[in-house]
């Protein structure tokens, strides 16, 4: 199956098609003639309360678990999409490899810190820069109101999440693009999605 991040613009269709790669570097085309191209580079990691100084930027999985004790971070570069583009559809497809426990919602929150994939841990988002609260603080490290709350279910495979409104805000520059925090509020739920390192 393929993981996809799809942006539908008024100027055409922007589509990322990546086998098991949630955000691998991909060339996309857009424009009425399809003659314009650009490379999209994206990053992801997860942070873990029980390993507060460990970075997981090179791991092949994104884990969301145990009442927020494991959280995933994802970020995708939309800077080459014209700022005056109207985003008619932006959906994020993540490949679900495993789920344990009771089904529960995954919540997406807009991050407020410019985190670095191969540095970020439970305690820090960059070298010498700590989260306001270890593990990310609501209202300071991420916006407290969720962008999206959705139950992925228990069936394995591609899960689709609609991020149209959020992507529009990143494209037009009304909000800074530091990506999204993915977490859950059910202590017995465990999700394992493919990361960009899954080749």
Predicted confidence at residue 89, as pLDDT, reads 77
The pLDDT of residue 7 is: 46
**Contact yes or no for 108/71 (Cβ under 8 A):** no
The two tokens of residue 170 are: 């990143």
C-alpha 148/C-alpha 106 separation (Å) is 8
Encode the chain (199 residues) as per-residue pLDDT tens digits: 334 454 444 333 333 322 233 433 333 344 444 444 444 557 899 999 999 999 999 998 999 987 779 999 999 888 888 888 887 777 888 899 999 888 789 999 999 999 999 999 999 999 999 999 999 999 999 999 999 999 998 899 989 888 889 988 998 999 999 999 999 877 778 899 998 877 5
16 contacts 4 by C-beta, under 8 angstroms: yes
Residue 38 to residue 8: CA distance in whole angstroms = 15
pLDDT score at 199: 58
- Residue listed under structure tokens 């589509």: 15
Single out the residue of 69, 60, 45, 53 nearest to residue 183, CA to CA.
Answer: 69
């Amino acid at each position: 199956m393929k993981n996809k991040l799809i942006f539908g613009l008024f100027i055409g269709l922007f589509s990322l098609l990546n086998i098991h790669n949630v955000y691998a570097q991909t060339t996309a085309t857009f424009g009425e003639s399809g003659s314009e191209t650009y490379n999209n580079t994206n990053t992801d990691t997860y942070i873990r309360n029980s390993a507060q100084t460990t970075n997981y930027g090179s791991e092949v999985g994104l884990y969301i678990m145990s009442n927020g004790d494991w959280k995933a971070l994802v970020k995708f570069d939309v800077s080459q999409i014209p700022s005056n583009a109207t985003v008619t559809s932006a959906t994020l497809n993540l490949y679900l490899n495993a789920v344990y426990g009771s089904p529960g919602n995954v919540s997406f929150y807009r991050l407020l810190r410019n985190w670095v994939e191969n540095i970020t841990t439970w305690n820090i988002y960059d070298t010498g820069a700590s989260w306001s609260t270890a593990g990310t603080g609501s209202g300071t490290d991420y916006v407290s109101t969720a962008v999206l709350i959705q139950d992925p279910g228990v069936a394995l495979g591609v899960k689709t999440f609609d991020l149209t409104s959020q992507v529009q805000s990143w494209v037009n520059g009304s909000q800074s693009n530091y990506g999204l925090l993915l977490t859950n509020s059910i202590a017995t739920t465990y999700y394992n999605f493919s990361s960009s390192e899954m080749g």
